[in-house]
Amino acid sequence: MSAPAYMIAARRTQIAPRSGALAALQADQLAAPVVRTLLQDADMPPASVDQVFLGNALYAGGNPARLAALRAGLPLGVPAMTVDTQCCSGLDAIILAARLIEAGAADCILAGGAESFSRAPIRLTRPMDKNAEPVPYDRPPFAPPPFADPDLTDAAARLASQNGVGRERQAEFAVASHASAIKAQGVLKRVDALDQEENPRDGFTRNLTVTTAMRAPVLAGNDTSGVTAATTACEADGAAAVLLVSEQVWKASGKPALKILAGRSVGGDPADPALVPIAVAEALFDQLALDISDFAAIELMEAYAVQAMVTAERLGIVPSQLNRLGGALARGHPIGASGAVLAVQLFEIMLRTSGNAGNIEKSRGLALIAAAGGLGSGLAVERVDCKGG
């Protein structure tokens, strides 16, 4: 029988739009201060870390996890692994860490994600002919022929059209996301990767109105239900990570924690990547013998307003459960870090800011995210303390 893993610390940097406040920093430079702060929060020495898992989607090699571990001052003997499942990377890194602890193979793991759109390498395809020029490309294929591999914005626009989700409804959802994020600005505890502010704010969050959102240009689809710049999460830089420990280490710490109930990664149709988190949630519910009403806080990735709206509607998520501190529409989408940001948000809501974010009537939380290629990941947690764990 496996032993549970516990999240005893969680931190993230501010999230900044591409070419914004964090543009000068590489992914590992963003992650390093998060790693150091996690250990300080947990009052644990660097030598206690058994492993580092870090999600990253845009760097195409180089093992940013190892760079971040060394930059953070971890001992040379601590191994580090970079995980790439695109948008799911950060959450998958946490799930991998939990499974290693559950298997009894580790007692303390740092896991999360880091991404810099601003510093990501320019991609080129090496030519077959040595005399030919390399060919630039924006993204790699996420599914091979004969599978569909749609542009994600086009896929979101198609989802909106098929489900009759108009531009104004999408705009209203985005406005609500920004409003929740603004309300939470004073209570979130973030790490400043630039070491300039005590608790830096996310750079994209603003007082958005429906009128302003409706003026945003349509990126894909039609004027009736198209996806716009206001209803799409902006490309962003940032890092997020958590500290996972075994039950023995948790009890010795004396700290309240989030117990990892289950983590799942699921594959689905690459043509409809936005819908895979529905299957993830249903698999978790079956595994845990729970349903959506058993979760007080649900962090659902808002890559596109319509993606989050359709997923929430089909799963029966009510507004009081969803993205209490604001979603990615209000902060941005640092691809490989976004899943880890969801886990940190759950930690914020359930352990640090519950008095400010509304009463938590139930002790469970859920994070869900989709990725290109038809992937989805989810993490279910439960708030516990050392007396009643």
Task: Characterize 335-359 residue by residue with b for buried, 16 or more Cβ atoms within 10 angstroms of its Cβ, and e for exposed.
Answer: bbbbbbbbbbbbbbbbbbbbeebee
Of 87, 88, 108, 234, catalytic: 87
Residue 207's Cβ-side half-sphere holds a number of Cα atoms within 13 Å equal to: 0
Mean pLDDT of 48-76: 95
Q: Look at domain 5-120+233-384 and name its CATH class.
A: alpha beta
pLDDT at 354: 53
For residue 356, is pLDDT > 60?
A: no
Amino acid at site 364: R
- Residue of 210 and 194 predicted with greater confidence: 210
153 falls in which pLDDT band (50, 70, 90)? very high
Q: What's the mean pLDDT when you consider all of the chain? A: 94
Tell which residue, 128, 58, 78, has the closest CA to residue 334: 58
The pTM of this model reads 0.95
Domain boundaries, the chain: 5-120+233-384
pLDDT at 358: 44
**For the CA atoms of 75, 351, 107, 242, what is the dihedral angle to 10 degrees?**
-40
Mean pLDDT of 149-158: 95
Strand partners, 227: 220
pLDDT at 362: 60
Active site residue 333: yes
188 falls in which pLDDT band (50, 70, 90)? confident
pLDDT at 226: 96
387 falls in which pLDDT band (50, 70, 90)? low
Chain segment 294-304, per-residue pLDDT in tens:
999 999 999 99
Of 88, 108, 234, 333, catalytic: 333
Helix axes 64-71, 27-42, angle to 10 degrees: 50
Cα 172 from Cα 38, distance rounded (Å): 36
- Residue of 115 and 61 predicted with greater confidence: 115
